[in-house]
């Protein structure tokens, strides 16, 4: 069994990330599971080495030890970075064509998408059958109306919560949902611990994993915990300015 810490190096960590690390460690300990460090840099377009340095500093400060994963920023960049596997993620997109899910290339611009509450495609691209072209289109998975996914004790109406979600981005990088499924399959993750803001993401991943026959991701134990909020009741977000968010 295995649980993973999965920070994204697109900013310095904040108190919410630290809380997630502690909760993940507790879940792993209670389940006698191994703990892995998985740094999700596949689509981190704001990547900076300092953000990875910070992950190691924070884990050291919290006294959290892990069994699988890089031990330093140098080791991460040379041997563990997901950027080394972009071609593999791209190759696996081919699996979707043989699966029951329907995919389509979406050319809608960011401004077209702004008015769509679920982030789905507003332009009817699904019916146009256009090609996937880097810099021009993103690959979306169609979520039929009425799709319900049970995950972590929640029943998620995926079409309403997320809509047709992206698996391959317009900038020719794999989307978070796609990388997360393939990396959890690779690691053999059995326990996935996330904030409650990611319940719909978990549902999307179970939806896709089921269609692809990735049973380990379908059968994993999902724990969604409350978020730490700021003084205005908003969820904390990554700071790209400094490390002041992690003094607690």
Which residue in 133, 132, 151 sits closest to 210, CA to CA? Answer: 151
Q: How many CB atoms lie under 10 A from the CB of residue 100? A: 8
**CB 108 → Zn ion: shortest distance, Å?**
3
Residues from 117 through 136 that contact Zn ion (CB under 5 A) = 121, 123, 125
Distance of alpha carbon 29 from alpha carbon 148, whole angstroms: 31
Under the binding rule (CB under 5 A), the answer on residue 59 touching Zn ion is no
Q: How many residues sit close enough to Zn ion to count as binding (CB under 5 A)? A: 5
Go through the chain and tell me how many residues it has: 248
Q: From the list 105, 108, 158, 167, which residue makes contact with Zn ion (rule: CB under 5 A)? A: 108
Three-class SS state of 233: coil
**CB 141 → Zn ion: shortest distance, Å?**
13
**CB 166 → Zn ion: shortest distance, Å?**
10
**CB 226 → Zn ion: shortest distance, Å?**
34
What does the block give as tokens for 177?
């949902």
Which residue in 190, 159, 195, 164 sits closest to 177, CA to CA? Answer: 164
Q: From the list 13, 106, 138, 246, which residue makes contact with Zn ion (rule: CB under 5 A)? A: 106
Under the binding rule (CB under 5 A), the answer on residue 138 touching Zn ion is no
Roughly how many angstroms between the first and final C-alpha of the chain, as a whole number? 30
Considering only the stretches 58-66, 116-124, 179-187, 206-214, report the one whose residues sit in contact with Zn ion under the rule CB under 5 A: 116-124
Half-sphere exposure at residue 198, Cβ-oriented, CA atoms within 13 angstroms: 17
Under the binding rule (CB under 5 A), the answer on residue 105 touching Zn ion is no
Residues that bind Zn ion (CB under 5 A): 106, 108, 121, 123, 125
């Amino acid at each position: 069994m295995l649980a993973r810490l999965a920070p994204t190096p697109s900013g310095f960590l904040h108190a919410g990330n630290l809380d997630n690390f502690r909760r993940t460690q507790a879940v792993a300990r209670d389940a006698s599971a191994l703990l892995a460090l998985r740094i999700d840099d596949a689509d981190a377009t704001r990547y900076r080495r300092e953000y990875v340095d910070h992950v190691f500093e924070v884990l050291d400060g919290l006294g959290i030890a892990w069994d699988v994963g890089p031990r330093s920023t140098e080791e991460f960049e040379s041997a563990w970075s997901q950027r080394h596997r972009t071609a593999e993620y791209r190759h696996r997109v081919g699996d979707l064509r043989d699966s029951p899910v329907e995919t389509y290339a979406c050319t809608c611009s960011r401004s077209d998408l702004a008015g769509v509450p679920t982030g789905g495609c507003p332009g009817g691209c699904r019916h146009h059958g256009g090609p996937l072209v880097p810099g021009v289109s993103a690959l979306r998975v169609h979520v039929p109306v009425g799709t319900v996914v049970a995950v972590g004790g929640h029943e998620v109406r995926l079409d309403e919560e997320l809509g047709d979600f992206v698996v391959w981005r317009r900038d020719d990088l794999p989307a978070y949902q796609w990388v997360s499924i393939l990396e959890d399959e690779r690691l053999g993750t059995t326990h996935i611990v996330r904030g409650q803001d990611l319940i719909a993401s978990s549902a999307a991943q179970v939806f896709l994993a089921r269609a692809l026959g990735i049973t380990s991701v379908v059968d994993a134990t999902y724990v969604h915990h409350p978020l730490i909020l700021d003084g205005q009741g908003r969820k904390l977000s990554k700071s790209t300015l400094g490390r002041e968010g992690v003094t607690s």
